[in-house]
Structure 1
Amino acid sequence: MTSNNPQVVNLTQLTIPQLDGLRENIDADIEYLTHSFEQLEIALKKLQNSLNSVEYLGKIKAESQMAMVPLTQSLYVNGEIKLPTKLIIDIGTGYYIEKDVKEAKDYFKRKMDFISRQLDKFKPALNDKISLKKGIEDVIQMKIQAILSLQKQPTSPQNKEIHAK
């Protein structure tokens, strides 16, 4: 049976190679969390842009309106919005749903709230990993300084006799 409780390890009892391996693992975790955090921020910005577009479409009163339609992030074509009260929303993985303007706004706001909560969860985890990495680096420095100070100590007269034999 596995336990969900993290195992507590005294860093000062680990060797420098063990600490270095642990630091590399923490670096990988930090990189993963940072990448995930950035991806969530990008998704949040895209949802905000979609919400802004829906709000703009909600203000259109005419039956037909000319618009620039994005095919990619950098390629747009002329298009005509026939009925701005009904929108087709991309909900991911190739699925689309039809919503009116109010429902579309609610959908994007819910998604943005969800992603914001996820971002809030990542911040403490990322800060904890960064603090742990700093602690590991401090212990490594302490151990290196201890080794260097031992190497600089002059040998006692008894040690000189032993080395001379």
Structure 2
Amino acid sequence: MSIDITKLEPEQVLQLRKQFESELDHFTTSLNALSVALNRYKECIANINQVSDKNAEGKEILVPLSSSLYVPGKVKDNDKFLVDVGTGYYVEKNAKDSIEFYNSRIQQLNKDYQQVTSIINEKSQTLQRVDQVLREKAHQVEKNQAAQAQAQK
């Protein structure tokens, strides 16, 4: 259903603008989260490539216990990785399968990223149109007030 926003009262147009701004903020936040996830998966692939290198076996590394706590360790088997497949489940995979898993996730996130970007563009264009109508309505109100002031003289 389409609404001709030029027929709405200024207060209604302003409310519509607030709604579109809120939606735009929501989608922008979602886009940022997708970007963070994409970077995390790309980092996983880079780490797998680094550890699965034939020179990496026996190499000392720092193993994260939390986001800010690490312990020293050594690479024992550089072709076995525990991959987080979601909701706290981990699956042991070799380097090739781990990279394929992360690449498939990256492909899906790229599709989602493009969809959200498209939605953001549409919402931005609509918001610009709403702003244009608001300016026109404000100009019309000023014109009417000036005419009323002129008529009272």
Q: TM-score, normalised by structure 2?
A: 0.92
Equivalent residue in structure 1 for 2:34, among 32, 40, 57: 40
> Percent sequence identity over matched residues?
25
Give 1:150 shift.
1.4
Equivalenced residues, count? 151
Residues in 1 aligned to 2:30 and 2:87: alpha-carbon distance in whole angstroms:
19
Give 1:63 shift.
4.7
Give 1:60 shift.
2.9
Q: Which runs of 5+ in 2 are unaligned?
A: none
Matched, 1:99 2:87: no
Matched, 1:58 2:89: no
Give 1:65 shift.
2.8
Alignment of 1:6-155 (within 5 A): 7-61=1-55, 63-153=57-147, 154-155=150-151
Flag the 1:70–1:97 CA change in 2: closer, same or farther, 3 A: same
Residues in 1 aligned to 2:67 and 2:44: alpha-carbon distance in whole angstroms:
13
CA RMSD for the aligned pairs?
1.5
- Report Cα offsets for 1:112-136 as digits up to 9, x if no partner: 1110111011111001101111111
The one-letter code matched in structure 1 to 2:143 is S
- Report Cα offsets for 1:23-81 as digits up to 9, x if no partner: 11111100110000000000000001100001112213465332111223333210122
The one-letter code matched in structure 1 to 2:20 is I
Residues in 2 aligned to 1:103 and 1:130: alpha-carbon distance in whole angstroms:
40
The one-letter code matched in structure 2 to 1:141 is R
